[in-house]
Amino acid sequence: MLRSAFLSLLFCGSLTSAAQTVASEAFKLPSGPLNQLSGQAFLSPSLKAMQSDASTNPISLWLEQARSLWTGSSGQTSCAQCHGAVETMREAATQFPKWSVKQQKLINLEDQILTCSQRTPRPLKGLENTEVLSLSALLHWSSAGLPFQISAKEEIKQQWQVELNAGAKLFTTRMGRMNLACTHCHDLNIGKTMRADVISPGHPTGFPIFKLSWQSMGSIDRRLRACYSGVQAEVPAPGSPELRQLELFLKSRAQGMPIEGPSLRR
């Protein structure tokens, strides 16, 4: 592929195209311990530039949709009617996943948004629904700078520990045709390249993400499912308990790292 690109350059007759600016400089990781870097450090300069300005960042569209949904300016039932101003929900995104006593399972922020919406005249369906993702984006945006604060009340601490242990076990268990565990790449081989990807520690500080290769926003649930397909393992259905357990483990592993708000990824 590279060879034909080179040859087509020759064919086009111009090896020294002085009038072409190379938009992306060589990508470099910062110095220091790699295992504490968020995905932000692994963005190309081109993506960093796109993300830095609200007028070029695709996420702005989702945030604006969410603000209008929250305050109900489009004439529908609004979140503000129950929850008040979104500023008062600043800590919400830092506290998920939670153990739901009612549903007897771990739920994350997108699950909670779906549940909330069932109480309105306009219930939403599907974790990757645009409105669910835009509301999640707005709530994470409000929490930007705050660290994850995952904890369990005394009465559910035991169940909590069971879920966390399950997540830790999943992270260190080999799976798929490639027979790899998450830890093999995301703990032991951070900074190494696979094709044009540089392996990150996989911290969940930038969700929900706008992934350019998806051409849409997506939740942590979707991204973890993509990881399963990445090692050629059977992909769990959206909302599966293992995905929530992994999310719980990842956020515990990232304790103290600040939420970055919804972020771009390639």
Partner 1 sequence: MRRSSLAWALGTCLLAPHTSVLSKPLNELSSEGIELVFPRLADTGNAVPFEAQITAPSGLHLKALKVILPENPNPLALQLKIMGEPVQYTLKTRLRLAASQSVWLVAVFNDGSERAHHAPTVITSTACLDDS
Partner 2 sequence: MSSPILTRLALTGQVKAGGSIEARWSAAHPMDSGFRVDDSGRRIPKNIIHTVRAYLNDRLIMDADLGTAMTSPVYLAFPVLVPAEGGIVKVIWQDDSGQMGETQQRLVI
Report if residue 55 touches partner 2, rule: CB under 8 A.
yes
Report if residue 56 touches partner 2, rule: CB under 8 A.
yes
Return the residues of window 20-79 that contact partner 1 according to CB under 8 A: 20-24, 44, 46-47, 50
Beta pairing class for 209-211 and 263-265: parallel
Contacted by 223, from partner 1, partner 2, none: CB < 5 to 8 Å by type: partner 1
Report if residue 54 touches partner 2, rule: CB under 8 A.
yes
CA atoms of 44 and 27, how far apart (whole Å): 6
CA atoms of 263 and 260, how far apart (whole Å): 7
Binding to partner 2 by CB under 8 A, coded x per residue (else -) over 64-103, reads xx--------x-----------------------------
Closest to partner 2 by CB, 42 vs 210, is 210
Half-sphere exposure of 3 (CA within 13 A, CB side): 0
Among 91, 155, 197, 255, binds partner 1 (CB under 8 A): 197
Contacted by 237, from partner 2, partner 1, none: CB < 5 to 8 Å by type: none
Query: Residue for token digits 């968020």?
Result: 38
Report if residue 17 touches partner 1, rule: CB under 8 A.
yes
**Residue range at the interface with partner 1 (CB under 8 A); choices 65-73, 143-151, 164-172, 224-232:** 224-232
CA atoms of 111 and 247, how far apart (whole Å): 13
CA atoms of 88 and 106, how far apart (whole Å): 24
Closest to partner 2 by CB, 120 vs 183, is 120
The SS3 of residue 51 is helix
| Cis omega (within 30 of 0) for bond into 262 | no
Among 77, 78, 216, 252, binds partner 2 (CB under 8 A): 216
Do residues 186 and 179 lie in contact, with contact meaning Cβ atoms separated by under 8 Å?
no
Q: Name the minimum Å distance from CB 229 to partner 1.
A: 3
Report the first-to-last Cα separation within the chain, whole angstroms: 20
CA atoms of 128 and 126, how far apart (whole Å): 5
Which residues contact partner 2 by CB under 8 A? 54-56, 58, 60-62, 64-65, 74, 130, 215-216
